[in-house]
Amino acid sequence: MVHKVFETFNEFVEIKKVLGPHLPLIIEKALIVSANQDYGANLREVTMLFLELISEKYVRVLMKNHGMNFIDKIIEVGFGIASEDPEIYGEKEGTPPDFALNMLYSYACTVPNEKVYPIFEKYLQKFGTSQNEHERAAATRIIGFIADSESCLGNVRDNCKSLTNFIVEKMMDNSKWVREAAGETVGRFSEHVVPDFLD
């Protein structure tokens, strides 16, 4: 039933008169479902898709009516989902951590950089220094995801030295998950954060 409800919301997302008045409540419920590992991946995919569509259609409304509170919470939950143990999902493609990365990227693209990057920076610091290896890996992967011209490339370039040190540190992490994420991020930085990163 929850799956059907959010499928319906996704169909109606273009009609602001339908969702607009109830947006805070629906976002709160979507976050609860998305973060709950007891729910199936298909349901969580639908609720994260809803949150992604909200970034594309309602981000200005959210900022005008609620400041950055909802966006901050969505990004925090996204970091948490991206930090789930990949071994839970085996070799499956399209897992909740993958959906979370796409959702986070969408907010990095649609919210003005000067407002969204400090939020990402806050959670990169928190998750990147965590005792939990999967949280460190998620933070490392996420910084690579938002380092392109569609999202936060300018901010990443401005902080290139500290982020490079962060990535190098993660390349030497004790966890294979963190080192793997660092390798992916080196690839993304080498493609987008040039020539600063390579220099």
Structure tokens at 60: 């200005």
Question: pTM for the full model?
Answer: 0.94
Residues 34-69 have pLDDT tens digits of: 999 999 999 999 999 999 999 999 999 899 999 999
Can you give the pLDDT at residue 185? Answer: 98
32 with 101, same domain: the answer is yes
151 with 107, same domain: the answer is no
Q: How far apart are CA 23 and CA 70, in angstroms?
A: 10
CA dist 62 to 45, 58, 161, Å?
Answer: 22, 6, 33
Q: How far apart are CA 83 and CA 89, in angstroms?
A: 13
105 with 132, same domain: the answer is no
Residues 160-170 have pLDDT tens digits of: 999 999 999 99
18 with 96, same domain: the answer is yes
- Give the domain extent around 183: 113-199
13 with 68, same domain: the answer is yes
Can you give the pLDDT at residue 18? Answer: 82
Q: What is the CA radius of gyration of the chain?
A: 17
- The stretches in the chain having pLDDT less than 70 are none
Can you give the pLDDT at residue 20? Answer: 83
21 with 84, same domain: the answer is yes
